[in-house]
Amino acid sequence: MDLRSAPRSRAGRPAKAEAEQRRTLVLDRALEVFLERGYEGATVELIAAAVGASKRTLYAHYEDKTALFKAAVERAIELYAEPEGLTIIESDDIEETLVALGRMRLAHVVSPVGMRLQRILNAEAYRFPEIFEWAIERGSRPMNILLAALLRRHAALGRIEVGSPERAAAVFLSMVVGGPARLLQAGGRIDEAELEESVRFAVRLFLRGALVRPAP
């Protein structure tokens, strides 16, 4: 597929939707090659073949392999990013609220898009630290903000005690996501019942350290 071969508008340029469709196809195929070969093993020739385009066409849109890699990862982060206005139904039962939030976050991380992104971050973030920062800022921070606000509200009501809601939110999300995500990335399997129990265990463990207990 030549990026320039699609039908053109009367103005002589591809329609915006067509151009965007071609861009996403190129970046998705490029990411597949980077995942399969790693950054070093992936060549522009291999990516061009996977896309069905010429090297010259790719270089017309991306300065070099590094620019193409970063654009492909940024595209993956766009797909992975938590939606704006992220909300959760909150109740007076903080345990059930945290279970619902934990389920939401875990499902997001272990989705096919989430797992692909984590693989590339694990493999290449040391070489391109900025991609890790992008993933944190666009993929993780909305959930951290939501959870920190939840913890702050319950702390104000005297139900929990957490010195730093932001730090507590990060610890909680690590507890919920860490084990299952690592197992799945290593090729293991977890059924729905195991995932549910994992979330509930993490919530109970977190609350043991956060709940305000009556004075003896």
> Is residue 68 one of the residues assigned to a domain?
yes
Whether residues 95 and 199 share a domain: the answer is yes
Whether residues 46 and 107 share a domain: the answer is no
**pLDDT for the residue numbered 170:** 92
Q: Which long-range CB contacts under 8 A does 75-78 form with residues at least 24 apart? A: 75/24, 75/27, 75/28, 75/31, 76/31, 76/113, 76/116, 76/117, 76/120, 77/117, 77/131, 77/134, 77/135, 77/138, 77/139, 78/138
156-170 pLDDT per residue, tens = 988 899 989 999 999
Using 50, 70 and 90 to split pLDDT, how confident is the model at 202? very high
The overall average pLDDT reported for the chain is 86
Residue 169 maps to which CATH number? 1.10.357.10
- Whether residue 20 has pLDDT greater than 60: yes
> Is residue 157 one of the residues assigned to a domain?
yes
Residue 36 maps to which CATH number? 1.10.10.60
**pLDDT for the residue numbered 5:** 46
Whether residues 129 and 149 share a domain: the answer is yes
pTM of the model: 0.76
Domain range spanning residue 108? 82-210
Packing angle of the helix pair 112-124, 65-80 (nearest 10 deg): 140
- Of the candidates 40, 149, 38, which has an alpha carbon nearest to the alpha carbon of residue 97? 149
